Amino acid sequence: MIDINTRIGWIGTGVMGAPMCAHLLSAGFPVCVHSRTRARAQALVDAGACWRGTPADVAGGCDIVFTMLGMPDEVESVYFGEQGLLPAVQPGRVLVDMSTTSPSLSRRIHDAAAEKAVRTVDAPVSGGDVGARNATLTVMAGGDRDTVASLQPLFDRIARVVSYMGAAGSGQHAKMCNQLVVAGTMIGVCEALVYAARAGLDCEELVEAIRPGAAGCWTLDNLAPRINRDDYAPGFMVEHFVKDLGIALDEAYRMGLKLPGLELAFDLYRQVRHSGYGRSGTQALVHVLRAMLME
């Protein structure tokens, strides 16, 4: 039973993790935080969160621990490392990984935690930095249904939609599907803007013209305006998107699927990263497409 005295742990205070954690803190829950760089968590500490030096320290004093990390190796270390969550977590606790990682890693975490009578949920999100700041994220949850349902009071503080997708790893599979759609949409939006510029159209007017119709989507609403004002700050970084697409490609191959659109997106985004935009937002794809236009 979650109440205002439920002790929350939060590990990972990046572009999305920090505002997500802040929503729980502002709701009055006692929150302990950890990140690789303390400075990234300082605003949360200043707002009342307690700092913990290791994931193990977080696990030792919290009822529910959330993780929001960038790369699978970080997830691996935070959960399985010598100072990680699993060696320190006590029976009856709940671990919620909101990172985007491989379904197989989520199942490994689930199985290892179950041996200690600890429940886990893989709960990746969609909605980017805007959704994190506005608490309008979409959560795709895998794990025990009752455990997911019990977390609803906390999910309600950071998300608008929570969908239960099935057993452990299913949330990550759903996130891979999400990223497939995002990748294809981003290619379409960026190509449309490159086409519009070459045709002599006003790109801002174009976006306003096509948004209400069948082309309307989150990417047009949120990222096309950033492209038009040359804003490539990350809501979601290219290097993380390359990671996600790589996971999706590996999973597709494992299932015997050939997905040419995914292969194209993976190749294009690796080019974006190679061009020096790995820490930029995913809208930086337009740079590669413009360069192709000039060849």
Same domain for 43 and 163?
yes
Residues 159 and 68 in one domain: yes
Considering its fold, how many domains does the chain have in total?
2
Q: Say if 3 falls within a structural domain.
A: no
CA distance 162 to 50: 28
Q: Are residues 241 and 269 in the same domain?
A: yes
Same domain, 20 and 93: yes
Q: What is the mean pLDDT of residues 258-266?
A: 97
- The pLDDT of 108-116, averaged and rounded, is 98
Task: Answer whether residue 209 shows pLDDT above 70.
Answer: yes
Query: For residue 235, what pLDDT is reported?
Result: 85
Condensed to tens digits (0 to 9), the pLDDT of residues 7-16 reads 999 999 999 9
Are residues 80 and 112 part of one domain?
Answer: yes
Residue 116 lies in a domain: yes
> Strand 137-143 to strand 119-122: parallel, antiparallel, or no bridges (unpaired)?
antiparallel
Residues recognised as catalytic: 175
**What are the pLDDT digits (tens) for 218-252?**
999 999 999 999 999 998 899 999 999 999 999 99
Q: Looking at beta carbons, which pairs linking 214-218 to residues 24 or more positions away fall under 8 Å?
A: 217/185, 217/189, 218/185
Q: Is the pLDDT of residue 294 over 70?
A: no
Check residue 292 and give its pLDDT: 84
Structure tokens given for 188: 């379409």
139 is a domain residue: yes
**Across the strands, what pairs with 142?**
122, 166
The pLDDT of residue 1 is above 90: no
Give the pLDDT confidence of 122-141 residue by residue, as tens digits: 999 999 889 999 999 999 99
User: What tokens does 118 get?
Assistant: 């600890």
Percent over 90 (pLDDT), the chain: 95
* Boundary residue ending a domain (140, 167, 194): 167
Residue 125 resides in a domain: yes
Q: At 158, is the pLDDT very low, low, confident or very high (cuts 50, 70, 90)? A: very high
pLDDT, position 268? 97
Average pLDDT over residues 262-273: 97
Whether residue 39 lies inside any domain: the answer is yes
**Do residues 144 and 182 share a domain?**
no
Stretch 176-186: mean pLDDT, rounded? 97
Res 168: pLDDT:
98
- pLDDT band, very low/low/confident/very high, at 295 (cuts 50, 70, 90): low
CB 143 within 8 A of CB 167: yes
Domain CATH code at residue 14: 3.40.50.720
pLDDT of residue 187: 97
Which residue, 149, 167, 185, sits at the end of a domain? 167
What lies within 8 Å, CB to CB, of 188 at 6+ separation is none
CATH number at residue 244: 1.10.1040.10
Residues 128 and 221 in one domain: no
Which residue has better confidence, 111 or 292? 111
Nearest to 129 by CA among 280, 285, 286: 280
* Helix (DSSP H) and strand (DSSP E) numbers for the chain: 16, 9
Tell me the pLDDT band of 293, cut-offs 50, 70 and 90: confident
Residue 206 in any domain: the answer is yes
- Write the CA distances from 56 to 16, 34, 217, integer angstroms: 22, 10, 41
- If asked whether residues 117 and 189 sit together in one domain, one would say no
Domain range spanning residue 257? Answer: 174-294
Whether 98 is covered by a domain: the verdict is yes
51 and 178 in a single domain? The answer is no
**Residue 1: inside a domain, yes or no?**
no
Convert the pLDDT of each residue in 53-99 to its tens digit. 999 999 999 999 999 998 999 999 999 999 999 999 999 999 999 99
Domain end marker among 148, 167, 186:
167
